[in-house]
Each structure stands twice: as structure tokens, then as C-alpha cells.
Chain A
Amino acid sequence: MIRPDLAVIADWIKSGSKVLDLGCGDGLLLSHLQQAKQVSGYGIEIDPQSVVTSIRNGVNVLQMNLETGLSGFDDHSFDTVILSQTLQATKHTESILRDMLRVGREGIVTFPNFGYWRNRLQVMRGRMPKSDAMPYEWFNTPNVHLCTLDDFETLCSLIGARVAERLVIDPQGRSVQFWPNLTGSLAIYRIQPRG
């Protein structure tokens, strides 16, 4: 069973395209894309255990630190650069997004929506939110740059990116249409350089 956001990403990726997956974890998305969409590509991962699992899963994985930049990659060398549930854990979030759109023709970004009503409710009750998408305590979370849909879209315009497509889903994996910044728990964006 593939994560709902990964299924959407697979749907958006063109067959046979060249993909770079930033923070590829165990490599399951790339492995799925290789089989379902005949993509070629590479995953980038920093964690040694995840690198081993990715290799075992038949994925080309490069152990590198996203935070030090994608300087090893030429401009427009990939069709799509994916940042799946990693954005919120990046330190240099803005420069990583800029680099994504330099290296790829487009980017796909997914992240937990901090503006989801259950999160807001928990904050209103006086506690930091915890959920399936954000299972950590405030003191041990790797998530340093959480944001809402509106926050993310503001950053996109700041860096000259255009939102080409957006899908927001609830914890059951259903697409939400109304007040997505309130009713959606997970956001999936396809972004492209403007102009």
C-alpha cells in the first residue's frame, strides 16, 4: 500500500520522465515510479539506514545533504524534482525550493498542512499539534519549518514559482475542495518557474 500523496505524485509524473526525489527515504516512491511509469532517476538521502534500504529496493540513491545544495546537478537536468514530506524538515527551505526549480523543469512538493482544523484546535487548546502526519513531540520533532497552504503559496510567489496544480487531501485520503487551508491535512503541489 502506497501513501496517498505518493499515489497522487505517481499520477502526475509523465511516463518515462527523469525524476530526482529529494529525501527519498526507503526509496519506495521511486521504486513504484520505476515500475508503474518507467521513470529513470535518483533519490537523495542523508540517513545511512535509508540509503541501504533504498539500494535494496532497487533505487539509485545518492547519499548527500540537501541543505548544502544541489550544486552537483546541472540546470534543467531533470523533468521533475520531488520533495515529498521533507519540506517541513528542511533548514534552508527557500534555497532548496529555488534549487528544485533550477535543476528540474517542475517541482512536486508535499507537506502536512499546519492550518488543518485539528491542528488549529490543538493550538487553541494550548498544545502543540500532534497527528499521524506530525507524530512528534515539540521537543523532538525534526520539523522546523511547518507552514499552511497560504504560507507556502506566498513563498512560491516570492521565489518566482507558479502553482500549476494543487491537490489537498484529508486524513482519509479524500480530496477536499472547500476551505482547503482549514479542511485539508496534506497538500500536494506541482510548481513551475514562472514565465
Chain B
Amino acid sequence: MKGSRSVGEVAPSVAHFDKPLPLASGVTLEQFDLVYETYGQLNADRSNAILICHALSGTHHVAGTYAGDSRSTGWWDNMVGPGKPVDTDRFFVVGVNNLGGCNGSTGPSSIDPATGRPYGSRFPFVTVEDWVHAQARLADYLQIRRFAAVMGGSLGAMQALQWTLTYPDRVGHAIVIAAAPSLSAQNIGFNEVARQAITTDPDFHGGDYYTQGVIPERGLRLARMLGHITYLSDDAMMEKFGRELLTEAPRFSLDVEFEIESYLRHQGDKFTTRFDANTYLIMTKALDYFDPASRAGGNLSAALASAKAGFLVLSFTTDWRFSPARSREIVKALLDNSLAVSYAEIESTQGHDAFLMENEDYFAVVRAYLGRIAGEVGA
């Protein structure tokens, strides 16, 4: 995008919380840390804050780069920055790593102060609602009473939606991208295969592998390879890799032969160096449990009755993980409550991953909607 820049060099901060956090599972987390980053300036009446929620494997590092590492670009750098759709010249943007994460917020690989050892298998399961409560603590810490918008894609979008139900007075708008109101049996099935890959790895040790000096690398690698298949559309994969072989002719071998095999192995390998297997288990369970309608006897419209925010819902035509039909379920429930909602179904070949990619129509919609919000909050 012309005229847009990177937010430049950024650095994370850590907020420590001593007040116990009761979780949906019944367990209470006595104390926890959240690692976060901010971009742009909070205005005088503290009304221009936007919270970015991350998806399954995302982090608090949304935009910019870290000093001395030019390749450390944030995961949504194309969306967030000066002159970008989420314009940091106008908004104060907050990125946060969720509870259970492995990038600095308290998670299974963190040291449990009660034992002096990593939590491992003793780290509690967390839900989307738990994350929202934790994020609200961070908002208090930053003295943000109300977010102009909470936004995210995929699992991040579920948090944005949950914000409007848990804290209806603390969020002006929710931008819900490539989401579903709950996972389908097929979605849960894929997650379960990924989890089984991890938990059946001999190096898993019931989740307490940290003290064994190993990681369930094979399992985590398989889980990520499977995930990547569901993030892309059949067309996008064919377009990107086709049936291309690495060599001239088939070698009749189990080594890497097709480009797609090479891509998946590479993605799997890369993932094991940066992600924790227990976190992967916890994040996928949070996805599986997300189902706001279950609070209202399965009636999503009744479940969304407490929402007051304005909504922008976006889906992508080739997303088969969370298809446009799932987004339309959310839109329908919002319409039933006469809430302000705009919905765009973006033409894309990229599948679920489209929410991370630059796309003219997609970015124009987000830019237009945030332009409106900027007008409302005087940003």
C-alpha cells in the first residue's frame, strides 16, 4: 500500500498480575504474566485503543521488527502500521500473547512459582472467555476502559466476538475475520488428530517433557503439517505447488519428492523451533470449547443478545476450515438482535490463510470500517 510504512523497531513489555484469575475449568490461576506490545499513541481521552487478538499460533508481536533482527516482522505487519488499514497514526494498537502461550505470557513452559518447575501437565485448560478476562486485566493495567475495537482472525476473531458478550460496555466494535460461532465436528476431528500426534510422541512424557530434556518434536511437526493442509484451499495448494517434483522424475522413494511434501516438512520443522507442544494442545482445546450458543440452549441469537458493539464480519470464499456459511451464522444472529453489522465475503483463492494475506478488497473494507471508527472516537 502506497504511503504506508512499518511501525519500525518495537519491543515487548510484560505485565504481572497478582490478583487470582478464576478459569472456566474451575481452576484458579493465582498469578500470571502477560507479554504485550503497543504501537501508536493513546489519545488524551484514551478512546482510540484497538486490541488485536491472535489465532492458534500467533503472538503479541503483531507489527514491526525487533532490534538487530530484520527478519522478525510481526505476524500482521501488512495490516497494522502507519497508513495501513489499522492505522497506528490514528489508533493505539495493543497486541497480547494469550494465557497458555509460549512467547512470554504464563503458559505450560513457564515456571510454576509453587514448585519452581515448569507447569507442564499441571497448567490448566483455558477457554476463549478466560483469555478475554485476562485481556481485560491488561486493559485495566493500561488504563483503557473501553476499546474502540477488538479485532482478530480465526481463533482471534472468536475472542473479539467473546469480548462483546463478556464486556459489552468495554468494546465499541468487533472486527470478526474468518471466524465460526463454534467448531464443527470435522474441525474438532482435525484438532484431535493433531493432539494425538503430540500426545502419542514417546518424547511427550504426559506433558512434562521439559524436565526430561526433550520435546515431542515429531508430534508437533505432524500437528503443524496437518494444520497447514486445512489453512490452504485445494486450489491455492495446486496453484502454489501443483504436482511439481523436486527431481526430474519420480525416484520411487519415501524421501521428499513433491513440492508440497517439502513445503509441509519445512513448515513443520520451523514450527518445532518456535512453538511449545503443550501450548498447541491448550490452544486447540480452547478452539474446540468455544461455543457461545451453548449458554443459550444452542440458540446463537439468544446468546448474542447481550452484545452492544458494532460488528464487521469478514469471510473468504475459499476458506473451508471456517467457511463463509459459518460467518453468515454469526451475521444472522446479529441481525436477529438488530445490531449494527456489516458483512463482506472476500473473493480469495487463499483458503483460511487469506486473513493473513494482503488483498485489495479485504484491506479496503477494513480500512473503510476503521475510518468510521476513527471518526467516532476522534482519532
Q: Which residues of A come within 8 Å of B, CB atoms?
A: 18, 40, 42, 48-49, 51-56, 58-64, 72-74, 77
**Complex-state Cα separation, A160 to B295, whole angstroms:** 42
A72's partner among B332, B342, B368 (CB-CB below 8 A) is B332
User: Is B210 in contact with chain A by the CB < 8 A criterion?
Assistant: no
B342 in contact with A60 (CB, 8 Å): yes
Name 5 interchain pairs, CB-CB below 8 A, sorted by A: A48-B364, A51-B365, A55-B312, A58-B372, A60-B342
On chain B, the residues within 8 Å of A55 by CB distance are 312, 342, 365, 368-369, 372
On chain A, the residues within 8 Å of B369 by CB distance are 55
Interface residues on B, range: 20 to 34
On chain B, the residues within 8 Å of A77 by CB distance are 335
Q: Which residue of A lies closest to B314 (CB)?
A: A63
Q: Which residue of B lies closest to A27 (CB)?
A: B342
On chain B, the residues within 8 Å of A18 by CB distance are 338
A60 in contact with B338 (CB, 8 Å): no
User: Is B371 in contact with chain A by the CB < 8 A criterion?
Assistant: yes
Binds A, one of B50-58, B96-104, B343-351: B343-351
**Complex-state Cα separation, A59 to B312, whole angstroms:** 11
Q: Which residues of B come within 8 Å of A, CB atoms?
A: 312, 328, 331-332, 335-336, 338, 340-347, 361, 364-365, 368-369, 371-372
Q: Which residue of A lies closest to B340 (CB)?
A: A60
Asked whether A48 and B342 contact (CB < 8 A) given A55-B372, A56-B371, the answer is no
On chain A, the residues within 8 Å of B368 by CB distance are 52-53, 55-56
Given contacts A40-B338, A53-B368, A61-B342, 10 further A-B contacts (CB under 8 A): A42-B335, A42-B341, A52-B365, A54-B342, A56-B371, A62-B342, A63-B344, A64-B343, A72-B331, A72-B332
**Complex-state Cα separation, A61 to B369, whole angstroms:** 11
**Complex-state Cα separation, A42 to B365, whole angstroms:** 16
A48 in contact with B372 (CB, 8 Å): no
Nearest Cβ on chain A to B369's Cβ, whole angstroms: 5
On chain A, the residues within 8 Å of B336 by CB distance are 74
Contacts between the two chains (Cβ within 8 Å), count: 52
On chain A, the residues within 8 Å of B372 by CB distance are 55-56, 58
Q: Which residue of B lies closest to A59 (CB)?
A: B342
Nearest Cβ on chain B to A96's Cβ, whole angstroms: 18
**Complex-state Cα separation, A40 to B327, whole angstroms:** 22
Nearest Cβ on chain B to A75's Cβ, whole angstroms: 12
Q: A-B pairs with the 3 shortest C-beta distances? A: A55-B368, A48-B361, A56-B368
Nearest Cβ on chain A to B251's Cβ, whole angstroms: 46
Asked whether A48 and B344 contact (CB < 8 A) given A56-B371, A58-B372, the answer is yes
Nearest Cβ on chain B to A77's Cβ, whole angstroms: 8
**Complex-state Cα separation, A192 to B346, whole angstroms:** 35
On chain B, the residues within 8 Å of A40 by CB distance are 338
**Complex-state Cα separation, A58 to B346, whole angstroms:** 20
B338 in contact with A52 (CB, 8 Å): no
Nearest Cβ on chain A to B373's Cβ, whole angstroms: 11
Asked whether A62 and B361 contact (CB < 8 A) given A18-B338, A72-B332, the answer is no
**Complex-state Cα separation, A53 to B364, whole angstroms:** 9
A62 in contact with B365 (CB, 8 Å): no
On chain B, the residues within 8 Å of A74 by CB distance are 336
B338 in contact with A51 (CB, 8 Å): no
Nearest Cβ on chain A to B347's Cβ, whole angstroms: 7
**Complex-state Cα separation, A64 to B315, whole angstroms:** 12
**Complex-state Cα separation, A54 to B340, whole angstroms:** 13
B364's partner among A52, A64, A72, A73 (CB-CB below 8 A) is A52
Q: Which residue of A lies closest to B310 (CB)?
A: A60
**Complex-state Cα separation, A55 to B368, whole angstroms:** 6
**Complex-state Cα separation, A42 to B364, whole angstroms:** 20
B328 in contact with A72 (CB, 8 Å): yes
B341's partner among A52, A54, A56, A60 (CB-CB below 8 A) is A60
A62 in contact with B347 (CB, 8 Å): no
On chain A, the residues within 8 Å of B332 by CB distance are 72
A73's partner among B335, B341, B345, B346 (CB-CB below 8 A) is B335
**Complex-state Cα separation, A48 to B364, whole angstroms:** 9
Q: Which residue of A lies closest to B367 (CB)?
A: A52
**Complex-state Cα separation, A58 to B369, whole angstroms:** 8
Q: Which residue of B lies closest to A58 (CB)?
A: B372
On chain B, the residues within 8 Å of A51 by CB distance are 342, 344, 365
**Complex-state Cα separation, A56 to B342, whole angstroms:** 11
**Complex-state Cα separation, A72 to B324, whole angstroms:** 13
On chain B, the residues within 8 Å of A53 by CB distance are 368
Asked whether A48 and B347 contact (CB < 8 A) given A18-B338, A72-B331, A72-B335, the answer is yes
B364 in contact with A62 (CB, 8 Å): no
**Complex-state Cα separation, A59 to B365, whole angstroms:** 12
On chain B, the residues within 8 Å of A62 by CB distance are 331, 341-343
**Complex-state Cα separation, A105 to B338, whole angstroms:** 17
Asked whether A63 and B345 contact (CB < 8 A) given A52-B368, A55-B369, A55-B372, the answer is yes
Q: Which residue of B lies closest to A18 (CB)?
A: B338
Nearest Cβ on chain A to B302's Cβ, whole angstroms: 14
Nearest Cβ on chain B to A43's Cβ, whole angstroms: 9
Nearest Cβ on chain A to B326's Cβ, whole angstroms: 13
Nearest Cβ on chain A to B358's Cβ, whole angstroms: 15
A63's partner among B343, B364, B371 (CB-CB below 8 A) is B343
